[in-house]
Amino acid sequence: MKYDLLKTVEQGGCSSKISPKQLEEILKDLPLPADPDILVDIATHDDAGVYRLDDNRALVFTTDFFPPVCSDPFEFGEIAAANSLSDVYAMGAKPILALNIMMFPSADMPLEVYKEILKGGYSKTEEAGVRIIGGHSIDDTPPKYGLAVIGIVNPERVITNSKAVAGDILILTKPVGTGIVMAGGSLSMASDREVGKALDQMKSLNSKAAELMQRNDVRAATDITGFGLAGHALKMARASNVTIEISIKNVPLLEGAYRLVDEGCLPGASFRNLDYVEKDLFTGPDIDYNLKMLSLDAQTSGGILMSVNESISGELLEQLVAGGCPDSAIIGKVIKREDSHIRIK
């Protein structure tokens, strides 16, 4: 239906996340449960929690929701659902069940908008083969939508952000720049074509990447969302006790993203992410400032960053490009731990 959701928010999508620095401060003193069947918890700030049921099955459990990232309610539902599913895919798991999470100002907005958001979510989960079996809603403004998702994986084949090793090659499956392009659209700085490409990418599932990671025995990965490429790479580097080296000129970019940064379109989330990574980031003196800021751009429903054994990296890249991830690229490598966890060159 014709209703502009963007008029209800100042920042939406994963740009609305609390800053990663604040989040780490909040989480650092929380007690961790002692249970041998908990395979992944919040200790490494991974994409989802993992709980072993038996020798062959583990549950992957996550939740994600945010304010509108686009104008159209149906598209917002699609993007929010794809983003929620992505955490399960990043761990090499198959999502199977979901619950809706909805906050909606029922007195201020037509209920048809609510229905369209849910329909968008159902459409995307149907594509993924996931069943939505309930949910919860409260009256709140601005509207927010997402899913709690359960996936399943073999306990011996869980992909985490803590298993990157020196010598690995880094592959990224989607271009970066969604935060900047969508901000550019709101400011009438980005073209309809550029915004359309960003929307299409955010609606794209990471299911094929998950399938190919499992097929090729990849063991380390994370999805790129609100903390940007550099922020999520930093979490992987810390969890794995390595240094991640990003060849910034090889990072794929959404159409229009570089131009928009050059014209001064830089959302506030980029600077929050810079504040988070700055003490752990080394950049060479000749680094393009625009590209550096693009590595900090908050992504919504971004790609998978995988750390891959060099011997299979070329073949896996070919499979990704041919199998539905055409913009996949090798963007760097993992090296032994140095003074800085992240190097951009």
Are 177 and 128 contained in the same domain? no
**What pLDDT is recorded for position 340?**
94
**What pLDDT is recorded for position 264?**
95
How many domains, in total, are found in the chain?
2
CA 100 to chain CA mean position, Å: 19
**What pLDDT is recorded for position 316?**
98
Total residue count of the chain as it appears in this document: 345
Asked if residue 44 belongs to a domain, the reply is yes
Decide: 67 and 144 in contact? Cβ < 8 Å.
yes
- Contacts for 72 with CB less than 8 Å, ≥ 6 apart: 5, 116
Asked if residue 144 belongs to a domain, the reply is yes
Are 284 and 177 contained in the same domain? yes
**What pLDDT is recorded for position 107?**
87
**What pLDDT is recorded for position 29?**
75
- Of the three residues 94, 124, 157, the one that is the final residue of a domain is 157
10 Å CB burial of residue 80 (0-12, 13-18, 19+) is: buried
Asked if residue 282 belongs to a domain, the reply is yes
What's the token pair of residue 12? Answer: 């939406």
Are 186 and 48 contained in the same domain? no
This prediction has a pTM of 0.94
Are 323 and 178 contained in the same domain? yes
Asked if residue 162 belongs to a domain, the reply is no
Q: Which of 139, 175, 208 is nearest to 291 (CA)?
A: 175
∠ Cα 172 176 177 (to 5°): 180
**Cα–Cα dist 340/88, whole Å:** 29
Please identify every residue annotated as catalytic: 14
**Cα–Cα dist 91/158, whole Å:** 6
Asked if residue 194 belongs to a domain, the reply is yes
Asked if residue 250 belongs to a domain, the reply is yes
State whether residue 110 is helix, strand or coil: coil
**Cα–Cα dist 81/77, whole Å:** 6
Are 148 and 175 contained in the same domain? no
Are 178 and 326 contained in the same domain? yes
Give the chain's residues under pLDDT 50: none
Find the helix or strand (DSSP H, E) in which 128 lies.
Answer: helix 111-128
Are 213 and 111 contained in the same domain? no
Asked if residue 164 belongs to a domain, the reply is no
**Cα–Cα dist 80/94, whole Å:** 18
Are 11 and 147 contained in the same domain? yes
Give the range of the structural domain holding residue 188, as residue numbers without chain letter.
169-344
Sequential DSSP letters for 198-245: HHHHHH--SHHHHHHHHHTT--EEEE--TTHHHHHHHHHHHHHT-EEE
Sequential DSSP letters for 9-65: -SS-GGGGSPPHHHHHHHHTTSPPP--TTEEE-GGGT-SSEEEE-SSS-EEEEEEEE
CATH number of domain containing 61: 3.30.1330.10
CATH number of domain containing 284: 3.90.650.10
- Of the three residues 157, 186, 216, the one that is the final residue of a domain is 157
**What pLDDT is recorded for position 14?**
63
- Beta-carbon count within 10 A of 30 CB: 10
Pairing of strands 169-172, 281-283: unpaired
**What pLDDT is recorded for position 9?**
74
Are 124 and 261 contained in the same domain? no
- Tokens 């960003």 -> residue: 198
Are 133 and 187 contained in the same domain? no
Asked if residue 281 belongs to a domain, the reply is yes
**What pLDDT is recorded for position 164?**
97
Are 221 and 309 contained in the same domain? yes
- Of the three residues 133, 157, 181, the one that is the final residue of a domain is 157
What's the token pair of residue 40? Answer: 């992944």
Are 144 and 288 contained in the same domain? no
